[in-house]
Structure 1
Amino acid sequence: MTPVGHAAPRFRSGAGRLCLDFMRTLRLRGMDDAVEELATPEALAAWVRQFGPYPTGTTVAAPTTDVLHEARRLREAVHTLLTTARGEHGAAGCPPGSRRLLNRAAAAPTPVPLLGDGGTVRHDAADPVGAVLATVARDALDLATSPALDRVRVCAGPGCAAWFLDASRPGSRRWCSMETCGNQAKKSTWRTRHAG
């Protein structure tokens, strides 16, 4: 597995659910060239800044290394839960260790909405990282036990493996992103048809 460099990356978004966007932080999951995007506590803080409900410019301190490792374990528990939930036994088949980790994370406080003097809502948390991880866990539990799970897909792009929620009307979306994997697939098909 390749760690991403020390510069805070801009993480992929658009999976349709927070827990699926979180799963994407292990890019190319299951492949030899998998990339760990949460390589450092600073990277986790950057992910929280990008995906959390906090106002732009909110300072999110880098968590401890222990919190980083717990976040990665949570990500893998989310993957295990959703994989299991899509199978024969549904969410009930989730292994006890993953279930305990998810339940513990989901029980933590989430970001609190606050109405400001100007009439706008902002979110705050004593532990911004932990609060967003709690939101991720709650989102995964909700998705695993909802009809929306039937719309979760794995990208058909070769060398991608990102999961996404297919919100298209016909339910036939094939790629995590039309701009990346979809365009690559169409270009490849065009080249094949026009070769020689």
Structure 2
Amino acid sequence: MPDSAAVRVLVPARFRQGSGRLCLDFLRTLRFRNTPEVTEELADPEALTAWVRQCGPCGEGPVAAPAPGRVAEARALREAVHALILAALGPDGPAAIPAAARARLNSAAAAPLPTPRLTPSGALGWHSDDPVTATLALIARDALDLATSPALLPRLRPCASPICGAFFLDHSRPGARRWCSMDTCGSRAKKAGVRARA
């Protein structure tokens, strides 16, 4: 985690999704990782609650604001997920993850998950008495599954933008996707290319 004094804070109206996995969407809450523009989106309990509402399965029901200490736990889990992804993409695979990050992921993954429920309208909904903890458990389990899936790892890649820092799972048929989003990073790169050629 970068020095907190150097991290800008932003709580967006909507969080970025579309990486192809819940754990990778969660990584996006630290924008512009490893750049001078690094920006923290999980600024406070309200921001964590907003992320769980938007991105987690329990967004329809009430989500109580977590205690301030839970934000630090969520950020630490995010950094453990990041460490696992980097290890999984490295030559030694997921076994190379630091022991503390492995322990944090395993602990979070052991928490109770949301349970399915049939809503009065006949749709499938999800419930948890503690949606934040349940969503963090899903994130940890998703990261563990992704990092140990030989079929998926070749399609897991970082965005080609040098300032983005996001990862995505490339579901395209040729497997040649370069950007986490064509609307943001891809568009910026194309515009920069046009300016450079002009």
Q: TM-score range by the shorter chain?
A: over 0.9
In the alignment, structure 1 segments of 5+ residues that lack a partner are none
Select 1:101's aligned residue among 101, 104, 107.
104
Q: How does 1:1-196 map to 2 (within 5 A)?
A: 1-5=6-10, 9-56=13-60, 58-146=61-149, 147-193=151-197, 195=198
1:38-74 deviation digits (Å, cap 9, x = unpaired): 0101100000000011254x32111111111111000
Deviations 1:155-184 (A, max 9, x none): 112321211111111111011111111111
Whether the aligned pair in 2 keeps the contact of 1:25 and 1:38 (CA below 8 Å) is: yes
Measured after TM superposition, the shift of residue 131 of structure 1 is: 0.3
- Residue type matched to 2:137 in 1? A
Counterpart amino acid of 1:98? A
TM-score (norm 2): 0.92
Cα separation, 1, equivalents of 2:12 and 2:176: 34
The one-letter amino acid paired with 1:4 is: V
What is the deviation of 1:126? 0.7
Q: Distance in 2 between matches of 1:34 and 1:142?
A: 28
> Where in structure 2 are there 5+ consecutive unaligned residues?
1-5
Deviations 1:126-150 (A, max 9, x none): 1010000000000000000002122
Q: How far is 1:3 from its partner? A: 3.6
Which amino acid in 2 is paired with 1:16?
G
**Aligned length, in residue pairs:** 192
Distance in 2, matches of 1:89 and 1:159, equals 26
**Is the CA contact (8 Å cut-off) linking 2:41 and 2:47 kept in structure 1?**
yes
**3-state SS of paired residue (2:116):** strand
User: Any conservation in 2 of the 1:8–1:46 contact (CA below 8 Å)?
Assistant: no
- Which aligned runs of 4 or more in structure 1 are off by greater than 6 angstroms? none
Say which SS state the counterpart of residue 122 (structure 1) adopts: strand
Query: What is the SS of the residue equivalent to 1:159?
Result: coil
Give per-residue Cα distances to partners, 1:67-104, cap 9 Å, x unaligned: 11111000000000110111111111111111110000
CA distance in 1, matches of 2:177, 2:95: 28
State the percentage of identical aligned residues: 57
User: Whole-Å Cα distance in 1 between the matches of residues 59 and 93 of structure 2?
Assistant: 37
Structure 1 stretch displaced more, 21-30 or 146-155: 146-155
Root-mean-square deviation (CA, aligned residues, Å) is 1.4
Paired with 1:9 and 1:90, the residues of 2 have a C-alpha distance of 36
